Amino acid sequence: MQIGVEDVIAFKIGINQAAKHYNLPFVSSTRRLIDDIKIDKTSGL
């Protein structure tokens, strides 16, 4: 699994946006973002 710096930066930005959108602390927004990614992945988006 190769993860580049750009991927980590994009993930961090996604976490920050999830924190704002869902009004959650950092850890909770991280978990929410991961759950959203899993849903998108299983739904074929």
User: What pLDDT, on the 0 to 100 scale, is given for residue 9?
Assistant: 94
Q: What is the pLDDT of residues 1-45, one digit of tens each?
A: 688 999 999 989 988 988 888 898 989 888 888 888 888 778 765
User: What pLDDT, on the 0 to 100 scale, is given for residue 38?
Assistant: 86
User: What pLDDT, on the 0 to 100 scale, is given for residue 6?
Assistant: 94
Instruction: Using CA atoms of 24, 28, 29, 32 in order, give the dihedral in degrees to the nearest 10.
Output: -120
